[in-house]
Chain A
């Protein structure tokens, strides 16, 4: 069989031109069995680890469930209590919203700025691109979160630097007004991944457009507004959706920097941190499931809004209009 694949057959004109379309279905027919054989791990995973658990957690969100006794149906009780009777939940929602609203735009702005800066045909571009990307690989781990915790602690590096300017913060991580910014800075620090995607997008913009803009006497800013931004808008949308989804699910930095408690005074209590606390410290699995489904709902709505409004601000050059 192997020798058969290696031997190149003589180019028999058995299926010249248009009749290829006629022969193809013949040997591709009756193959669904084999297709599902290839797909079998995926199908198992999709059913047992994705669809099944999704439906199960939807059901659990209407129950009281502590993992050890069987779930007890409580209707909308979990959802009602979340909004009416849980200050810590509302605090976590607020902190997370703030984190997403501030960190995502800043991260994308930094990514775009550095991508524009790097987008020259000069030596060293490849090296720089990789170096800027490095924080994206390191930053999600516990080690770097520990570094942040130490740098922003009382009498740490940042406090010492601001102290020389007469601003003694007492450590940002101990200060409810500043603690969240420690996490935002850590998120923005990892702008390398969207930057690499922006850079690849910038390289796809045809040079003719820039030449035409130059001929028309367009300045740098005008060219950026009228050529670069519209041509890049599909990638901006892509990065925006991806980074927003990621930001909503951030967990490790808040857990490490606050020591797992989301303090001081709930200022770093991420949504996922509270979900973990409810589900896996207090074993309120039904309640945590309700939180998980709310998170899914919020992410779905925001993604839908991004895509829904994209018609107005995303420009696809392939379109005939």
Chain B
């Protein structure tokens, strides 16, 4: 349905541009295009200034960080990075980095497995409560985390799991990220049912159909889910703040927070160096998969 209307709407627009260029005012059109690019690049420069500022500041000597408006440092200050690598509170940065990776990768695996299984059931299998249960899933997308937080915390505390990564990863293994269930259900619904029927005629039950027909075709949705889960978990601060209480198990966001309490200006350089280290994975993921990310947002958003 969407692909059909997509094709209908995008083709005429694509045709319109060349005709506009062939008109007598082609030079004016080219000028307008140049103005368009200039405007957008201007807005982008303003928008991305804070990120550039962060990168530039991380290699500035401490005394220039706040006072100097110039993005270029008077001299490079690699000592910021060596201090950042030494970490904080006697714990090296790699420890925090490893902890963040464990939580993020665990969450990715959890979401991929549990959401794909649930999505297949909601999209393709028939069972009596399918409608109400799926409606419930959609509702939980809007549910504030705080409403379940305190009892969840109590449960994990009784199980003596507060301070471990289990409270951060286990919910993902149980498909509580309803957004991704929804995203995959929408994707599976878009796959032709004839494929399932063919598999069934060949004697495949739901398990084999899922494994050999749906799962391979679901790859784009799985990639989108994996990247978003990774980045969101990587950036997550609140639940890690609640559940991790031992500096040895701190993730990067929690380690960064420790810098706030250090009021002396000498901590600024290492703080921003560590900030850069903490956003490097996000930037790499973004550069590698930006098409998946943007398309994922566009389609899942639209179909809501």
A in complex with B: yes
Tell me the dominant secondary structure on chain B's binding face.
helix
Can you spell out 22 A-B residue pairs with CB atoms less than 8 angstroms apart?
Answer: A5-B204, A9-B201, A28-B125, A38-B118, A46-B133, A52-B151, A53-B148, A53-B152, A117-B39, A121-B16, A137-B231, A141-B282, A142-B278, A144-B50, A196-B297, A204-B5, A208-B12, A242-B304, A249-B144, A251-B238, A255-B257, A256-B237
Contact A299 B142 (CB under 8 A): yes
Q: Does B6 contact A (CB under 8 A)?
A: yes
Contact B174 A151 (CB under 8 A): no
Q: Does A206 contact B (CB under 8 A)?
A: yes
Interface string of B150-190 (1 = CB under 8 A from A): 11111101000000000000010111100001000000000
B128 cross-chain contacts in A, Cβ below 8 A: 32
Q: Does B91 contact A (CB under 8 A)?
A: no
A39 cross-chain contacts in B, Cβ below 8 A: 117-118, 121-122, 133
Contact A56 B279 (CB under 8 A): no
Interface residues of B in 242-301 (CB under 8 A from A): 242, 252-253, 256-257, 259-261, 268, 271-272, 275-276, 278-279, 282-283, 286, 290-291, 293-294, 297-299, 301
A213 to B128, CA, bound (A): 48
Q: Does B81 contact A (CB under 8 A)?
A: no
Interface residues of A in 279-305 (CB under 8 A from B): 279-280, 285, 288-289, 291-293, 295-296, 299-300, 303
A42 to B174, CA, bound (A): 5
Residue in B69, B127, B241, B297 whose beta carbon sits within 8 Å of that of A160 in the complex: B69
* Interface stretch of the complex, out of B40-48, B72-80, B101-109, B217-225: B40-48
* A50-B238 contact given A60-B150, A143-B279, A197-B302, CB 8 Å threshold: no
Contact B44 A131 (CB under 8 A): yes
Interface residues of A in 152-181 (CB under 8 A from B): 153, 155-157, 160-161
* A38-B40 contact given A9-B202, A67-B157, A249-B146, CB 8 Å threshold: no
A305 to B259, CA, bound (A): 42
A24 to B124, CA, bound (A): 12
Total A-B Cβ pairs within 8 A: 320
The listed residue with most B CB atoms (<10 A of its CB), out of A38, A155, A241, is A38
A114 cross-chain contacts in B, Cβ below 8 A: 43
Interface string of A23-58 (1 = CB under 8 A from B): 010011001101110111110111011101110110
A46 cross-chain contacts in B, Cβ below 8 A: 133, 136-137, 140, 175-176
Contact B125 A35 (CB under 8 A): yes
A203 to B7, CA, bound (A): 10
* Interface stretch of the complex, out of A82-90, A122-130, A215-223: A122-130
A197 to B122, CA, bound (A): 25
A295 to B65, CA, bound (A): 40
Contact A41 B54 (CB under 8 A): no
Q: Does B205 contact A (CB under 8 A)?
A: yes
B14 cross-chain contacts in A, Cβ below 8 A: 121
Contact B47 A259 (CB under 8 A): no
A53-B148, A207-B9, A256-B237 known; 19 other A-B pairs, CB under 8 Å? Answer: A27-B200, A32-B127, A34-B206, A42-B117, A45-B114, A46-B140, A49-B152, A53-B150, A57-B151, A60-B150, A121-B14, A141-B234, A141-B278, A150-B65, A153-B66, A207-B12, A242-B301, A292-B147, A303-B142
Number of residues of chain A lying within 8 A (CB) of chain B: 111
* A197-B301 contact given A155-B67, A272-B146, CB 8 Å threshold: yes
Contact A35 B126 (CB under 8 A): yes
Q: Does A62 contact B (CB under 8 A)?
A: no
Q: Give the Cβ gap from A281 to chain B, nearest Cβ, in Å.
A: 11
A294 to B157, CA, bound (A): 25
Chain B interface size band reads 35 or more
Among residues of B, the one whose C-beta sits closest to the C-beta of A259 is B260
A291 to B145, CA, bound (A): 12
Q: Does A99 contact B (CB under 8 A)?
A: no
Contact B173 A41 (CB under 8 A): yes
Q: Give the Cβ gap from A12 to chain B, nearest Cβ, in Å.
A: 9
Residue in B16, B121, B153, B256 whose beta carbon sits within 8 Å of that of A142 in the complex: B256
Q: Give the Cβ gap from B222 to chain A, nearest Cβ, in Å.
A: 16
A153 to B137, CA, bound (A): 43
Contact A38 B117 (CB under 8 A): yes
B143 cross-chain contacts in A, Cβ below 8 A: 50, 54, 296
Residue in B16, B148, B197, B242 whose beta carbon sits within 8 Å of that of A207 in the complex: B16
Q: Does B191 contact A (CB under 8 A)?
A: no
* A288-B302 contact given A4-B202, A147-B53, CB 8 Å threshold: no
A7 to B199, CA, bound (A): 10
Residue in A41, A146, A149 whose beta carbon sits within 8 Å of that of B114 in the complex: A41
B125 cross-chain contacts in A, Cβ below 8 A: 28, 31-32, 34-35, 38
Q: Give the Cβ gap from A62 to chain B, nearest Cβ, in Å.
A: 13
B16 cross-chain contacts in A, Cβ below 8 A: 121, 207
Among residues of B, the one whose C-beta sits closest to the C-beta of A39 is B121
Q: Give the Cβ gap from A212 to chain B, nearest Cβ, in Å.
A: 12
Interface string of A256-281 (1 = CB under 8 A from B): 10011000000000001001100110
Contact A31 B126 (CB under 8 A): yes
Contact A146 B148 (CB under 8 A): no
Contact A4 B54 (CB under 8 A): no
